[in-house]
Structure 1
Amino acid sequence: MKTKDLGCIAVLILLFAPFFIWDRAYDLYQDINRDHAYIMAFFKFAILATIGEMIGLRIKNGHYDEPGFGIMPRAIVWGLLGIWIAIAMKTFSSGIPGLMQSFGIEIPVTGKLPLTENIFRAFLISVMMNTTFGPVFMTLHKITDTHILLNGGKLKALVTPMHFGKILGSLNWKIQWNFVFKKTIPFFWIPAHTITFLLPTQYQVLFAALLGVALGIILSVAAVSARKKEVPIIETEM
């Protein structure tokens, strides 16, 4: 383990330690999360998702940063995307029970449900979110990543106009469809977000941010393994 790895571990410890050594920290988090949910969503994704990408880069290339990676612009973009994700989660978790009622299936938006019904509700929300919002989000995230790379990972990427059409045309849609959509959505995101929507509301956005970290690490480990075997593997993020 190198010094930079120890530094990363130290940052993570400092980030989470207050919740274990200071009782008021958790209460304060709950209060802010309740009163400023979308601001908190910004910081959750800006910090956790970016750390996840940095760890993934470390696993793949041996570095937490590299030219063009752009930690700061990535963090800000992740924060903005995090707000969008939080809004989507609220929209789908509130709207799907109403939709199901139109089919004669009564699933309350709130309140305690039997385990089977609760799992069914969470699964339906996850399916609808990941088959509608999910592909749009994944594609937009790919566009923003490409834009940051094209601007050398510099903060100017945040104020430089994005050429959506040009970037969209340059994407590998065969990979985007065959791997990103057809594999990660049904085999990772739908099951993972089913668990997300089984959690209490105050933990859902945080868990969603942690899922992005987990997927980035899993894909990076797989990429390294495939590289050793000289078998190509495609990567994605959400």
Structure 2
Amino acid sequence: MKIKDFIWIGIFIGISLFVFLPTTNPVFVKLTQNYPYMMGFIKTMILASMGELLVRRIKTGSYFGDPGFYLKAIIWGLLGMAFVFVFPLFDGGIKSVLHNQVIFEVDFLNRLSYAFIVSLAMNLIFAPTFMMLHRMTDTYIMLSSGSLKNMRHVRFDQVIEAIDFKFLFSFVILKTIPLFWIPAHTLTFMLPSAYRVLLASYLSIALGMLLSIKRK
């Protein structure tokens, strides 16, 4: 391991300690409740970008060198704001459709079943569109070499041609959704709402590692 690896680990641990330590956790929860979209942007931008850096480290041996890193970070932040909107949309929607009826008498099993149904609905309805959109934004950034000026000259058909749709559908959508995201988001929806976007950001790091290993 190199010094940059220890720095990455140190930042990751520092963020986690801020979130979970009893002395700082109330601050995190209050900020998340009072400024949900701002915190969604910040949490997802930082943690998902750390995932991007880790994936690059695994693939190339270096954390830096991606000319589009900062644009990708902003995109992640915007997606984090979308998560803040989408998570309660599906959570509340499923509970409304099912009229909050009791599925199991045991409270844990009842919460688990609701979390699974919410996760299933969200991942079947929202996730494929989200994954394709994110792949398109990444491809725009790649084809423009991370330059907003160059991005004006990137055509939509060039983006479509550059995307590996076989990998996107055969692995990212058809395998990671049922095998990773549905179980992972079931756990996510078992948590209090203040921690859901945060856990999704942590999970993006784990999935990024899996995808990078798969494509090596």
Q: TM-score, normalised by structure 1?
A: 0.80
SS at match of 1:63: coil
| Unmatched tracts of structure 2, length 5 or more | none
Match of 1:5 in 2: 5
Structure 2 residue identity aligned to 1:133: F
Match of 1:183 in 2: 175
The answer on 1:38 being equivalent to 2:37 is yes
Match of 2:72 in 1: 74
The answer on 1:123 being equivalent to 2:116 is yes
The answer on 1:96 being equivalent to 2:89 is no
Shift of 1:115: 1.4
Give, in whole Å, the separation in 2 of the partners of 1:99 and 1:169: 40
Shift of 1:211: 0.6
Give, in whole Å, the separation in 2 of the partners of 1:215 and 1:166: 27
Shift of 1:99: 1.8
The answer on 1:204 being equivalent to 2:199 is no
Which of 100, 114, 120 is the aligned partner of 2:107?
114
Give, in whole Å, the separation in 2 of the partners of 1:28 and 1:161: 44
Aligned residues: CA RMSD: 2.6
The answer on whether the counterparts of 1:73 and 1:158 sit within 8 Å (CA) in structure 2 is no
Give, in whole Å, the separation in 2 of the partners of 1:187 and 1:142: 20
The answer on whether the counterparts of 1:92 and 1:125 sit within 8 Å (CA) in structure 2 is yes
> Between the two proteins, what is the percent identity of the paired residues?
36
Give the aligned length: 215
Map 1:147-158 onto structure 2 (within 5 A). Answer: 147-154=140-147, 156=148
- CA shift in 2, pair 1:206/1:20, >3 Å: closer
The answer on whether the counterparts of 1:107 and 1:121 sit within 8 Å (CA) in structure 2 is no
Give, in whole Å, the separation in 2 of the partners of 1:166 and 1:222: 25
The answer on whether the counterparts of 2:143 and 2:154 sit within 8 Å (CA) in structure 1 is no
Match of 2:130 in 1: 137
Give, in whole Å, the separation in 2 of the partners of 1:157 and 1:81: 22
Shift of 1:77: 0.6
| Unmatched tracts of structure 1, length 5 or more | 225-238
Shift of 1:128: 0.6
Give, in whole Å, the separation in 1 of the partners of 2:114 and 2:19: 31
Match of 2:28 in 1: 29
Q: TM-score, normalised by structure 2?
A: 0.88
